[in-house]
Structure 1
Amino acid sequence: MRDKLALYFILGSTNTDKNLETILQDAIDGGITLFQFREKGLGAKIGEEKHELAKLLQQICRNAKIPFIVNDDVELALELDADGIHVGQEDEDAQLVRKKIGSDKILGVSAHSVEDVCRAMEAGADYIGLGPIFPTTSKADAKEVQGVKVLKQIRKQGIDIPIVAIGGITEHNARDVILAGADGISVISAIASASDVKNATARLKGMVMHGVK
């Protein structure tokens, strides 16, 4: 699981005006290791339109052997036979989600504190999405910024669950996050808003790998 979290890309139609299939393919070519389809926010697609977009992006991931995760839509994840699902603290209870998806699919859970992490582990989470680490504009409902201190705090307590850090992560701070104890970084705008998606992705991947060393 840790290797899959190295460079975790999240994308939905509300994150960019560009073609999502092109962005995803360029991000895969640049080195992402996992993809999450997150279709939320003002103007997000719903119903059949959302389903069709998810299917298109899932096929691109399958062709590249990149795990495809659905954000907060258990029905869609099961319909598509997605590789997993990610839920936040305000979404459906993680323990119930685990029962619905079974033990063979990936379950990711957002966390903002040590207590959140412990509850997610009890619920059967495979990994934690921890943050926001730095200020972010990609999520209107983002919680208070945590900084890397919460990562260090979790690792100091001997909690060893795979963790991907999220929130305002760029190529300039990615290495700091890895050195603080994250197994990988999760980004939206650092890739989706880049003028050259493939190169931006490759630079991010390089910083993560550099941090691991």
Structure 2
Amino acid sequence: MILYAITDRRLSAGGDLLQQASTLLRAGVDWLQVREKDLPDRLLFDVLRILVLESRRFGTRILLNGRSDLASAAGAHGVHLPSDGLPTDSVRRAFPRPFLVVRSCHSEAEVMEASAAGADAVTLGPVYETPSKSPFGRPLGIERFAKICRKAPLPVLALGGVSAPRIGEVAAAGAGGVAAIRLFCGLSNPFLAIPALRALAEQGEKCP
């Protein structure tokens, strides 16, 4: 199961993006999305370069939100396309595999469209109630989420309201991973908590 952390430097001490991202990387997340839309390109480029170099020790995949051109220039492993971002198929043609293309989705139709267009994975949500995702409508709920996971021909990562006690539930529902900001960035001790989150996911995957 993919543990997919999404940065938010406002949740780190002193707003230090690099420290937050580096800590998550070293603590054991599988994928790390740099999602700092207000930062200038050069600063994002420099941060990505540092993280990509550091990621070689841990096998973490570094993605950038929205900017496939900047991600590629910095040597990052992929891009995360927002639901209103560039077309998946256009990005895939410009950036062949192994460059990762991940898409934000909010419905079964969007998941299937992203898959057909060449996405490697999608985030799907909100699965649960969460204020940050209220503009996207009512939460899917775990039963509908599970139904979409069963139909989807690519990994579907749960997003929205996924707390530690719910990781086992989304894993049992067939999630290919969990994507979140606060679940990962709000940890007091990521080096202890992230292995514990992975253990919860593995327990859920074993459920019938």
Short-chain TM bin: 0.7 to 0.9
Alignment-mate amino acid for residue 198 of structure 1:
F
Task: Give 1:166 deviation, angstroms.
Answer: 1.1
Task: Give 1:185 deviation, angstroms.
Answer: 0.8
Give the RMSD, CA atoms, in angstroms: 2.1
Which one of the candidate residues 78, 88, 105 is aligned to 1:84? 78
Task: Give 1:139 deviation, angstroms.
Answer: 6.1
CA distance in 1 between counterparts of 2:53 and 2:160 reads 27
Task: Give 1:125 deviation, angstroms.
Answer: 0.8
1:32 aligns with 2:29: yes
Which one of the candidate residues 12, 15, 20 is aligned to 2:17? 20
Q: Which runs of 5+ in 2 are unaligned?
A: none
Task: Give 1:140 deviation, angstroms.
Answer: 8.1
Which one of the candidate residues 181, 186, 204 is aligned to 1:193? 186
CA distance in 1 between counterparts of 2:134 and 2:141 reads 18
Q: Which residue of 2 aligns with 1:102?
A: 96
1:146 aligns with 2:143: no
Relative distance call for 1:188 and 1:142 in structure 2 (3 A) is farther
TM-score scaled by length of structure 1 = 0.86
Alignment-mate amino acid for residue 24 of structure 2:
A
Partner SS for 1:146: coil
1:203 aligns with 2:192: no
CA distance in 1 between counterparts of 2:25 and 2:45 reads 21
Partner SS for 1:64: coil
Q: Which runs of 5+ in 1 are unaligned?
A: none
Deviations, residues 22-65 of structure 1 (Å, cap 9, x unaligned): 3334333433111111113xxx3122122222222222223322
Alignment-mate amino acid for residue 194 of structure 2:
T
Q: Which residue of 1 aligns with 2:118?
A: 124
Asked if 1 retains the 8 angstrom alpha-carbon contact of 2:3 and 2:179, the reply is yes
Matched pairs, number: 205
CA distance in 1 between counterparts of 2:136 and 2:83 reads 11
Alignment-mate amino acid for residue 38 of structure 1:
R
Asked if 1 retains the 8 angstrom alpha-carbon contact of 2:8 and 2:181, the reply is no
CA distance in 2 between counterparts of 1:159 and 1:84 reads 21
Deviations, residues 116-139 of structure 1 (Å, cap 9, x unaligned): 011101110111111111233556
Alignment-mate amino acid for residue 7 of structure 1:
L
Q: Which residue of 1 aligns with 2:57?
A: 63
Alignment-mate amino acid for residue 30 of structure 1:
A
Task: Give 1:15 deviation, angstroms.
Answer: 4.3
Q: Which residue of 1 aligns with 2:66?
A: 72
Partner SS for 2:93: helix
TM-score scaled by length of structure 2 = 0.87
Relative distance call for 1:142 and 1:39 in structure 2 (3 A) is farther
Structure 1 segments (4+ residues) deviating >6 Å: none
Q: Which residue of 2 aligns with 1:172?
A: 165
Q: Which has the higher contact order (CA 8 A, sep 6+)?
A: 1
Alignment-mate amino acid for residue 33 of structure 2:
Q
CA distance in 2 between counterparts of 1:143 and 1:203 reads 31
